[in-house]
């Protein structure tokens, strides 16, 4: 890890913290590359069962570092899409393809590409008073880093379009009602709450979690028959795992299963 991404372990839970508090944890290429490396390493580590992604200070992530973007534009480099393909897209895909569950602990504002990161995670738990902002339109840009994909599928076309066109803040309390946020808790309880959820997930059937994550993403683009075939395929894979076999035996024997991950 670098100074811009802090890493800590608590049993089977890895916490990655974006550490640019003076810039509201805005993203620049070195920060994204370090975060991507941390997530990919967690995916390969059999000792890790869940990953928490959060921010240092009073923000989760304010999005792209616009000072970097401005400097590139001033230098005549207007191919912002190349920056997306080289940095933002690989980071979003790393989160979605990570075989471990990734939980966003939203300690403060999540705006622009910072919101995209949060939406790419499997679960989002937020501190009361935090806000989500599809901020791109405020600087004349289009939602990116996966926001067009996640927002339209999670919220529907109408609400997603409203947020993208206005750039108005969405309080996390309202976001919870819309299904974007799993829970809203007092700020001083955020990391304790997220850690409890992460530990519980990490102690579960990890291979099944991976299959569920894969199935949920693929199901969004398939018709009913295709989804049912996907379910049949994934269920066969799940049934072959030792944890599933243990869970079924435990259910029959009326005891708590002992998962090995």
What pLDDT is recorded for position 190? Answer: 98
Looking at residue 208, its pLDDT comes to 94
User: pLDDT class for 200, splitting at 50, 70, 90?
Assistant: very high
Query: What φ, ψ does residue 103 adopt, rounded to 5°?
Result: -115, 130
* Burial category of 31 from C-beta neighbours within 10 Å (exposed 0-12, middle 13-18, buried 19 and up): buried
Q: What is the DSSP string of 154-215?
A: HH-HHHHHHHHHH---EEHHHHHHHTS-SEEE-GGGHHHHHHHHHHHHHTS-HHHHHHHHHH
| pTM confidence score | 0.93
Domain 5-202 in CATH: superfamily? 2-enoyl-CoA Hydratase; Chain A, domain 1 (3.90.226.10)
pLDDT (mean) for 171-182: 96
Task: Please tell me the total number of residues recorded for the chain in this structure.
Answer: 261
- What distance in Å separates the CA atoms of residue 183 and residue 179, rounded to the nearest whole number? 9
Q: Residue ranges per domain, the chain?
A: 5-202, 206-252
Read off the tokens for 23. Answer: 């810039």
The secondary element (H helix, E strand) that includes residue 102 is strand 101-106
Is the Cβ–Cβ distance between 229 and 38 less than 8 Å?
no
- Dig out the tokens for 204 from the structure: 């579960």
- Report the pLDDT value the prediction gives residue 221, as an integer from 0 to 100: 87
pLDDT in tens, 58-97: 999 999 988 888 787 778 877 788 889 999 999 999 999 9
The answer to whether 60 and 109 have CB atoms below 8 angstroms apart is yes
């Amino acid at each position: 890890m670098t100074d811009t991404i802090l890493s800590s372990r608590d049993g089977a839970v890895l916490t990655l913290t974006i550490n640019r508090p003076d810039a509201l944890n805005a993203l620049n290429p070195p920060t994204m590359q370090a975060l991507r490396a941390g997530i990919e390493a967690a995916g390969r580590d059999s000792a890790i069962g869940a990953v928490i992604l959060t921010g240092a200070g009073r923000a989760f992530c304010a999005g792209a570092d616009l000072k970097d973007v401005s400097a590139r534009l001033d230098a005549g480099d207007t191919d912002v899409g190349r920056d997306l393909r080289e940095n933002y897209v690989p980071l979003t895909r790393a989160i979605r393809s990570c075989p471990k569950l990734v939980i966003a602990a939203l300690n403060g504002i999540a705006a622009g590409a910072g919101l995209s990161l949060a939406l790419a995670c499997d679960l989002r738990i937020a501190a009361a008073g935090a806000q989500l902002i599809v901020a791109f339109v405020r600087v004349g840009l289009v939602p990116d880093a996966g926001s067009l994909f996640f927002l339209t599928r999670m919220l529907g076309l109408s609400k997603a379009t409203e947020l993208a066109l206005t750039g108005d803040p969405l309080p996390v309390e309202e976001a919870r009602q819309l299904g974007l946020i799993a829970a809203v808790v007092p700020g001083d309880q955020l990391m304790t709450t997220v850690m409890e959820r992460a530990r519980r997930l990490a102690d579960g059937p990890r291979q099944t979690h991976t299959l569920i994550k894969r199935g949920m993403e693929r199901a969004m683009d398939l018709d009913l028959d295709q989804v049912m075939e996907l379910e049949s395929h994934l269920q066969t894979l799940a049934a072959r795992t030792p944890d599933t076999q243990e869970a079924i035996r435990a259910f029959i024997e009326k005891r708590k299963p002992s998962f090995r991950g």
